Amino acid sequence: MNRTALKVAAALLSVALLVGCTQTKPSKYESGAGNNEKLAGSLTELFQQELSDEESAKNPFVADVLKRAINTGRITQVDYEEAYRLFRVCLKDAGYVESYEKLPNGLYKATPPNLKADDSEKYMEASKNCSDELAPIESLYTVQQGNPNLLTNQDQAVVQCLNKAGLVDASYTVAHFKSDFKAGFTKAPYDATSPGAQACFAGGGYSITLKNP
């Protein structure tokens, strides 16, 4: 993933929530401290920044998608789907098959295959090697679909989404979300497994899986 994609992408956190145990993969990339800080002035500006990156510009697929997005102001679902298809084919050729759930906002939630501990590193490396097309497109599409106000604070983006979806009221804050997150959403005022909540999580850059014992 190139530097611009890393800037605009909220880190994708793999979270397994078990009874009495919460495991998280911490992010290398901190969200903005201020609730009103913006990634850019517009989506088009983000697309232009990405296209100016040498790594994206030299990838024919990524460059074509970004040029179309600059012209129309949005990345299409078709282009996002194609980026994911290229990733899936590459990963399958490497010997790994993930499962995917399409969320209401058009984003995909991926579930890694069941792997032995000594194979996890190889899987992560294969995922990285296969992500040349997907990484920059998914980063921007995630912002487009889940963070329309282009907030640098991913938690604030999630809270705004939950409120807009009618899952929480205006009294629900980022502090409440962080508290619910740490508690495994056991006392959250909404069903964290619902498609609507999962779409909001994904739109903020989180991949949260709730598992029963």
Mean pLDDT of 64-86: 97
CB 155 within 8 A of CB 177: yes
Higher pLDDT, 101 or 19: 101
Q: Each residue of 144-154: pLDDT tens digit? A: 999 999 999 99
Q: Tokens for 95, please give them.
A: 């010997």
Q: Each residue of 167-213: pLDDT tens digit? A: 999 999 999 999 999 999 999 999 999 999 999 999 999 988 886 54
Q: What is residue 116's predicted lDDT score, i.e. its pLDDT? A: 84
- Average per-residue pLDDT for the chain: 85
Angle at alpha carbon of residue 81, lines to 76 and 86, rounded to 5°: 130
Q: Tokens for 60, please give them.
A: 């024919």
Cα–Cα distance, 34 to 116 (Å, whole number): 41
Burial class (CB in 10 A: 0-12, 13-18, 19+), 187: exposed
Cα–Cα distance, 9 to 83 (Å, whole number): 16
Strand partners, 14: 207
Domain ranges within the chain, ordered by starting residue: 3-210
Mean pLDDT of 95-118: 91
Q: What is residue 34's predicted lDDT score, i.e. its pLDDT? A: 57
Cα–Cα distance, 96 to 52 (Å, whole number): 32
174 three-state secondary structure: helix
CB 182 within 8 A of CB 21: no
Higher pLDDT, 97 or 5: 97
Mean pLDDT of 57-66: 97
Residue 20 has pLDDT above 50, yes or no: no
Q: Each residue of 157-171: pLDDT tens digit? A: 999 999 999 999 999
